[in-house]
Amino acid sequence: MIHLQEIYESLIDQIVDKGYAVGDAFLKEDTLNGLFNQLLTLQESDKMKAAGVGQLTEHEVNKSIRGDKIHWLTKNSKISFEQLFNRQIEAYSAYLNRSCFLSINDFEFHYTCYPPGTFYKKHIDRFQSDRSRILSLILYLNKDWKKGDGGEIVLYPLNEPEVIIEPKWGRMVCFKSDELAHEVLPTNVNRYSITGWLKSVNSENIIQLID
């Protein structure tokens, strides 16, 4: 069994080297299954809602930009698999802070489903008015994903050819929220994931909106 610290090291080496990282063993199989079942339960009870674009006053639902449905996880969840997930995100953040001199002190994650025919056009995750998002992290929950299912994520590293990543079960993609443009190609099947951000919340990162 691979030690978690080795997985964190590998992810961090990749981020320092290329600005993004791909890892296939971030969470254990039973945690993945628990989270996936919770996502399906939310979907069946109609708790997944259309995601918006932008922030604060800019927030609006725009299906020509993104078509996913989301449900936010909470920090004080009573669900054991969500607690495990939150704890592991905290451990990974602490490791990043120590080894990269970052100041991550918060995170936010949502369950995500892209229904067939939906996508997310090329964009950057950090808002103009709120610079607290440091790293984006997506964990894919697509059992038996196969070519033709679509929904690949395309990363556009600066001055490098684009990188296409298949959204396979258990795979994790992590990248710098402020600089890496990316998009989700149209999916032909329900495309499941947990999507979120490791954040550094302090007054310098929040720019007051003055009308």
* Residues at the site binding ligand OGA, with contacts judged by CB under 6 A: 120, 125, 138, 153, 182, 184, 193, 195
Give which of ligand OGA, Ni ion, none residue 21 binds (C-beta under 5 to 8 Å, depending on kind).
Answer: none
Round to whole Å and give the CA distance between 84 and 35: 10
Q: Which is nearer to Ni ion, 68 or 125 (CB)?
A: 125
Going from the C-alpha of 97 to that of each of 49, 90, 106, 130, the distances in angstroms are 33, 10, 12, 20
CB of 19 to Ni ion, least distance (A): 14
CB of 195 to ligand OGA, least distance (A): 4
Closest chain position to ligand OGA (CB):
153
Round to whole Å and give the CA distance between 168 and 143: 7
Give which of ligand OGA, Ni ion, none residue 142 binds (C-beta under 5 to 8 Å, depending on kind).
Answer: none
Closest chain position to Ni ion (CB):
125
CB of 177 to Ni ion, least distance (A): 8
Q: Which is nearer to ligand OGA, 34 or 171 (CB)?
A: 171
Site for Ni ion in 109-168 (CB under 5 A): 125
Q: Which is nearer to ligand OGA, 95 or 126 (CB)?
A: 126
At 61, phi and psi to the nearest 5? Answer: -90, 125
Tokens of 145: 């994903």
Give which of ligand OGA, Ni ion, none residue 153 binds (C-beta under 5 to 8 Å, depending on kind).
Answer: ligand OGA
CB of 6 to ligand OGA, least distance (A): 25
How far is C-alpha 1 from the geometric centre of its chain's CA atoms? Answer: 25
Q: Which is nearer to Ni ion, 37 or 54 (CB)?
A: 54
Site residues (vs Ni ion, CB under 5 A): 125
